[in-house]
Copies of this chain bind each other. A is one copy, B any other.
Amino acid sequence: MDSKYEGYSQLFKALSDPNRLMIVDMLSCGELCACVILERFRITQPTLSHHMKNLCGCGLVTARKEGKWMFYSLNEDTVNDLKMFLKAVTTMKEDCICYDMEYKGGCCK
């Protein structure tokens, strides 16, 4: 298994929770304090903390501490990597993995 699939699947997993997906949307215009994010959800503070740890852990979100507050923002580099990867794996391309498979057999040949 190519490790790039392992890596990017982690990013998609981070986006596979509706709460985290909405958090990403909320961060798309700039950084927000954890307390502001929390107000918009029906989840407890530890659950939000868990989700933010997930989003930061995979690199999608960056955390900044200011006093007793935590401010979160999107990591544009990771976001762009993900967009390019999604485009790559869904678009015909010259170095496509499918070329390796031609004439490899398969029952339907």
Contacts and interface: CB of A to CB of B under 8 A. Distances in A.
Interface residues of A, number: 52
B18 A1 contact: yes
Nearest to A102: B36
Contacts of A13: 12-13, 16
A19 interface: yes
A97 B22 contact: yes
B96 A28 contact: yes
Interface of A: 1-2, 5-6, 8-10, 12-13, 15-19, 21-22, 24-30, 32-33, 35-36, 39-40, 69, 74, 79, 82-83, 86-93, 96-99, 101, 104-108
